[in-house]
C-alpha cells in the first residue's frame, strides 16, 4: 500500500516527464512522513491525509488547523497515523517515528 508513492514518483518521471525534484519528492513521500520534508512535501502529505473521502472523526478540525499552522497540522496528522497503525497492530515505518520525534522535540522547545 505504501509502495505506490515511490512508484508514483517514478511513473510521474518516466511516463509524464516530471523532472522537478520538489514535485517528485512530494509524490514520493505523500504516504510516509520523513525528516526534513519541504513545505510542498507536507502540503501533499496533509492533502492526501485529509482529503474529503477520508471519514475519520477529527478530519474537519485537522483541515482547519492545516490552514492556520502547517507544521502543527502535520505533527497532528503524523501522530494520528501512528495511533491508527498501533490500533491495527501494523508496523510503523522508522521514518515516521523519526519525523514524529523531530517535530515533538521542536515544539517542546518552542513551548
CA dist 90 and 83 (Å) reads 10
How many CA atoms, within 13 angstroms, populate the side-chain half-sphere of residue 86? 8
The 3-state DSSP composition of the chain as helix, strand, coil percent (nearest 5) reads: 70, 0, 30
Domain edges within the chain: 3-110
Q: The cell 515516521 sits on which residue?
A: 96
Crossing angle (nearest 10°) for helices 70-88 and 39-50: 50
CA dist 77 and 34 (Å) reads 13
- Residue 22 region, left (φ>0) first, then alpha (ψ -120 to 50), else beta? alpha
CATH number of 3-110: 1.10.3210.10
Q: Using an 8 Å Cβ cutoff, are 39 and 55 in contact?
A: no
pTM score, whole prediction: 0.81
The pLDDT tens digits along the chain (111 residues) read 556 667 677 777 789 998 988 988 787 877 888 888 999 999 999 998 898 898 888 899 999 999 999 999 999 999 999 999 999 999 998 989 999 999 999 887 665
Amino acid at each position: 500500500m505504501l509502495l505506490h508513492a515511490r512508484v508514483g514518483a517514478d511513473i510521474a518521471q518516466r511516463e509524464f516527464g516530471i523532472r522537478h525534484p520538489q514535485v517528485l519528492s512530494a509524490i514520493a513521500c505523500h504516504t510516509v512522513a520523513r525528516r526534513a520534508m519541504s513545505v510542498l512535501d507536507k502540503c501533499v502529505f496533509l492533502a492526501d491525509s485529509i482529503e474529503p473521502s477520508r471519514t475519520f472523526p477529527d478530519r474537519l478540525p485537522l483541515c482547519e488547523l492545516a490552514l492556520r499552522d502547517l507544521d502543527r497540522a502535520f505533527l497532528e496528522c503524523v501522530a494520528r497515523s501512528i495511533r491508527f497503525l498501533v490500533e491495527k497492530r501494523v508496523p510503523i515505518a522508522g521514518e515516521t517515528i523519526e519525523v514524529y520525534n523531530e517535530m515533538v522535540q521542536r515544539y517542546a522547545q518552542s513551548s
